[in-house]
Structure 1
Amino acid sequence: MSFLPWAALAEPFSFQTVIDKAEQLAGSNWRAPPQVPKFLQELSYHDYQGMRFKSERSLWADADSPFTVMLTPPGLFYQHAVALNIVEGEQSEPLAFDKSQFDYPNAELEKLIPADLGYAGFRLTFPFADPQVANQFLVFAGASYYRAVGRHNNFGLSGRGIAVNTGLPSGEEFPSFIEFWLKKPAPDATSLTFYGLLDGKSLTGAYEFEVIPGDETRLRVSSVLFPRQGIELPGVAPLTSMFYYGENTQRPYGEWRPEVHDSDGLLIHDGHSNEWLWRPLNNPAALSMDYYATEQLKGFGLLQRDADFRSYMDAEAGYGTRPSAWIEPRGEWGRGHVVLTQLPTPDETNDNIVAFWTPEEKWQAGQSYRHAYEVRFGRADLARNPMARALDSFLGDGTRIGGGAADGAVRVIVDFAGGPLDERSAEAGVSGQVTALEEGEVLEHFVEYVAPLKRWRLSMLVRPAANRPLSLRAFLHEGGETLSETWTYQLLPGSDVLQVIK
């Protein structure tokens, strides 16, 4: 039984080839990709991890190129194979599956592996420091997911080719890449180009990727999407991450680690208003969706600002070195919204955070939609935000913390640093602008310089309206000069912090 539609001979290839395939696919009904044998889907985590690709069998390992390709086997999470092709010049040839490229946890499993099984995806390597050490920096495997790291990171949050109806009652769809074309790089190449064909129930797509590894790994993306049917909430350039708890939430009972998250906030830059907006993440009690209007999107991303090991104390997970990711459009995308979807999670094993951009108009069947952007993976300063940044957010019972008290109120503390604040003396007249939404009340707010931390602290006492969310916007200024990004936050009724308020 064949799982992959391998071509017999080399054939001409360009990005237009993938676009034509995607457009042709969109004209036919969607068919779910064939699944791999049941025994592979039912493998234990230990046995699947035991199927290890032999690094010496990496593609281009015997060439002069600094890039190599390691291959990922199907099984467990990866329940269908993808077609892989190698492009040299303007010709493409299919890559045939070879089971001898893998070590197996036992001989019985090795015997069961079909000769034509195929691969679930691929991992790219590049020598970040030592020319003799091939560092994995980009992984494509599972639906349209990919993960990447900069030189100083370990793997964390994911990107996706597209999101479809995330968070809607109709249910989210997960289109998948079904075929890739990897372009063999030149010996002195500093980037690698590859292409992907995406297929799903509601749409198809063609993608061109160029990846440049480094301190910040940059992934340049060009996509052409063809809806099969109308799509209510298309999500362009989606990012997926995990937030279990942080300094802004209650610590789950029995947890000894101070914080557990892959990302701690969403940053948005709108060119029309030139506002930089920061939203700390949360682990909500129920599904939460927030829409941030953008007239002229300049960028958005999920960041891991807190890189201090002492904030996590987890020597194995290394949360302090998880990458941030920043999306920067190439060209004008028009009016739309950055959407933040947050889901409740009982532990750190579930990705519960999704952020993407969606256009003002729904997508229609029979049309095509093009987007170009760059995704940067690296440390949290990759957004080049010139404003002072909100570094920590603390919330507690307003009756228990000094500086004013009121029944039913919440004390909110936000620490800012960097940008124009670095040029101010401790005696500067820095003030806060605080706005409560959802009929909330701002009972008091003040700013003070915290010398031990070299930060400016905005302290707010706010009271949410009965059975309404606590929703706030705040920034620092001196006279008419805005000094910081806009910090925004929302707590839904029933959240852990509000439940402890007296």
Structure 2
Amino acid sequence: MNRRYLRQGAAALAGAILLPTFALAANEPQPFSYDALVERARSMANTAYQPPALPAPEVVQQIDYARHGELVFDTQRAPFSGQPDTEASEGYPLVFFPLGKYAPKGVHMFMVDQGEAVEIPYSADFFDMPADNPARQLPADAGFAGFRLQEWHTAEDWVKQDWVAFQGASYFRSIGADGQYGQSARGIAIDPAVAGKPEEFPDFTEFYIEQQDDATPDTPVIVHALLDGPSVTGAYRFKMTRGLDRTTPVVMDVEARIFLREDVDRLGLLPLTSMFWFGEYGAERLKDWRPEVHDSDGLAMWTGSGERLWRPLNNPDATRVSAFADENPKGFGLMQRDRNFDHYQDGVFYDRRPSVWVEPLKPLGKGSVQLLEIPTDDEIHDNIGAFWVPDGKASKGTEYDLHYRLHWQNLSPVPATNIAQTIATRIGRGGQPGHKRPENVYNFTVEFDRPEVMQQIPYGVFPEVKVSTSAGIVSRTFARPVPNGNVWRASFDLELEPDQVADLRMYMELEGKPLTETWLYQFKPEWAMGKVQ
């Protein structure tokens, strides 16, 4: 979008990007900058929280699931659609989500060009809808529920696939390299899983979207967002790059200035959220025909000291939070390492769900990566969270300055080259085959793979399995190769009473040096084996 369209007023802008002229007539360009948004968020933190208005609630409540499905965005009116009969710039077409019963909060959208912003008000003309749809009664200041950016590889395909979406509280997500949505990220997590205290979900209340007038598929899209909630305010800047083709990972550079207006018991920064019902282990696997169901299968961590950690996810019997203390971690992420369709057998393509790796671009200091696991009995619930919790009390008046990068892709963007990584965790009855299996003894067999590492093990040499546990007794540790020549299995038994929970730590070692990443696991018998042994 060329700057002159903003300067010439709303009518010219409407013509340039095919917006309803009447909808923008009262909205003159206003100065805008990230620094000004930061100062606005800081000022808001010193005032009492005002809940966001719910536009025309009597109308919005009528837009149920069925009526909401009737609202189809008119692609001819999408900003940056690059229609041949307009002077609109080429960029990623911008499509808006309408309000509805299950998305009732109005979010304000602004187009930004060279330091000036113009709001895009809601209009029924944006959507193809039946004449009797209640959305036609929404006022012009109702706002939208969110937005998404469409693919832009050919003039035909962009209407079929979006590559990033912001909708609901501070949630956003991307399709990654395989064109499939999965887990989400959030702007912030306030008091997740704090006993006796409900979690708070602050909202992105305003978005400021900027694209260059000479945009290409590898030109970043800049999105600014204003965050507001009872305990926090914030200003965010997202620099998002899709890449030149559909196989390119999506990269987002995020800057955030966060201001606490109230004390927070658990402050989750750089948060991710995902779903794990069951994998190749877990009692829940007996309840469904599919071998595995999950958007992510583990938490990967690269500590400040350089250690690589892998924690397979659990579907526990009660909400649990695990904390991994660290100082200036190099990164962490919720990963979908299992990319084999045969391991899922589902047409929703869990094998294509993106992993998300968080790379701090500014040191985080002391704190902990925390993993939240919530019990679920279905795949429709996001029951996994991962976030950074800084040391020290998150007190009213505290400010945070964050700069980090999100990588939406299949596997880690920074794989270790000198150690093997976990590819499977398998759990069963312990004891020696051919003998009566002892009660309360469980076998863990963990598979590691990285050909350039494992193929260097001399023939006839067996790595040492190093195991420790917080509860129970470890026995029968050994390593053995899988016949394909690349994968090695580390196996051990754990004797554990039914009411105990064991935090396990294991890796393989060769000649006194780590051969694999460190496998971590929290185990309670009924999670993996069911209540009937």
Question: Which residue among 38, 44, 48 is the counterpart of 1:25?
Answer: 44
| 2:409 matches 1:390 | no
2:147 to 110, 114, 122: 122
Change (3 A) 1:77 1:210: same
Give 2:220's aligned residue: 191
Q: CA deviation at 1:499?
A: 3.0
After the TM superposition, which residues 110-189 of structure 1 pair with which residues of structure 2 at under 5 Å, given as runs?
A: 110-127=135-152, 129-130=153-154, 132-134=156-158, 135-169=161-195, 170-189=197-216
Query: Hey, what's the Cα distance between the residues in 2 that align with 1:148 and 1:51?
Result: 22
Please provide the CA RMSD for this pair.
2.2
1:312-363 CA-to-partner distances (Å, cap 9, x unmatched) read 1111x11110110000000211011000000001101110000000101122
Q: Is the 8 A contact 2:471 2:501 kept in 1?
A: no
Residue 429 of structure 1: SS of its match in structure 2? coil
Q: Which residue is 2:7 aligned to?
A: none
Q: Where does 1:63-462 land on structure 2 (aligned, <5 Å)?
A: 63-104=88-129, 107-127=132-152, 129-130=153-154, 132-134=156-158, 135-169=161-195, 170-189=197-216, 190-214=219-243, 215-272=248-305, 274-315=306-347, 317-386=348-417, 387-399=419-431, 405-418=437-450, 420-425=452-457, 427=459, 429-452=461-484, 454-462=486-494
**C-alpha distance in 1 between matches for 2:70 and 2:507:** 51
Displacement, 1:471?
2.1
In the alignment, the residues of structure 2 paired with residue 290 and residue 105 of structure 1 have an alpha-carbon distance, to the nearest angstrom, of: 50
Deviation at 1:405, TM superposition (A): 4.8
1:254-274 CA distances to partner (integer Å, 9 max, x unpaired)? 5111111110000000122x1
Please give the alpha-carbon distance, in whole angstroms, between the structure 2 residues aligned to 1:98 and 1:77.
Answer: 19
What secondary structure sits across from 1:107 in the alignment? coil
Deviations 1:147-167, CA, capped at 9 Å, x for gaps: 112231300100000001111
The alignment of Structure 1 onto Structure 2 pairs a total of residues equal to: 494
Residue deviations 1:266-309 (CA, integer Å, cap 9, x gap): 0000122x111001111111111100011221000000111111
Taking the aligned partners of 1:24 and 1:256, their CA distance within structure 2 comes to 54
1:286/1:7 CA distance change after superposition, 3 Å: farther
Matched residue type, 1:157: Q
What per-residue deviation string (whole Å, max 9, x for no partner) do you get for residues 71-102 of structure 1?
Answer: 11111331201111111111111112221111
Runs (5+) with no aligned partner, structure 1: none
Between 400-409 and 219-228, the greater mean CA deviation after superposition: 400-409
Q: Following the alignment from structure 1 to structure 2, what is the Cα–Cα distance between the partners of residues 467 and 7?
A: 66
Q: Quick check: 2:465–2:479 contact (8 Å CA) kept in 1?
A: no
Paired amino acid for 1:9: E
Unpaired runs of 5+ in structure 2? 1-22, 83-87
Structure 1 residue 179 displacement after superposition = 0.6
Deviation at 1:430, TM superposition (A): 4.0
Residue of structure 1 in register with 2:80 after alignment: 60
Separation in 2, partners of 1:443, 1:106: 71
CA contact (8 A) 2:311 2:520 kept: yes
How many Å separate the matches in 2 of 1:304 and 1:256? 20
Deviates more, 1:233-242 or 1:7-16: 7-16
How much does 1:500 deviate? 4.1
For the 8 Å contact 1:436–1:473, the answer to whether it is kept is yes
The runs of 4+ residues in structure 1 deviating greater than 6 Å are: none
Does the residue aligned with 1:333 lie in a helix, a strand or coil? coil
Distance 1:105 1:158, change over 3 A: farther
SS at match of 1:381: coil
- With normalisation by structure 1, the TM-score equals 0.93
Separation in structure 1 between the aligned mates of residue 488 and residue 235 of structure 2, nearest angstrom:
47
Contact 1:67 1:125 in 2 (8 A): yes
Q: Is the 8 A contact 1:97 1:116 kept in 2?
A: yes
Instruction: Please state how far the C-alpha of 1:230 moved relative to its aligned partner.
Output: 1.6
Percent identical residues = 32
Q: Is the 8 A contact 2:357 2:412 kept in 1?
A: no
Check the 8 A contact 2:440/2:498 in 1, yes or no.
no
How far off its partner does 1:424 sit? 2.1
Find the aligned partners of 2:113 and 2:268 in 1 and give their Cα distance: 33
Distance 1:482 1:104, change over 3 A: same
Q: Is 2:189–2:200's contact at 8 Å kept on the other side of the alignment?
A: yes
Query: Larger deviation: 107-116 or 274-283?
Result: 107-116
Deviation at 1:130?
4.0
- Once the two structures are overlaid, the 10-residue window that deviates more, 164-173 or 424-433, is 424-433
Q: Does the aligned pair in 2 maintain the 1:66–1:126 contact within 8 Å?
A: no
- The CA deviation at 1:61 is 1.2
Q: Sort the Cα spacing of 1:265 and 1:469 in 2 relative to 1 into closer, same or farther, 3 A.
A: same
Counterpart residue identity of residue 180, structure 1 = F
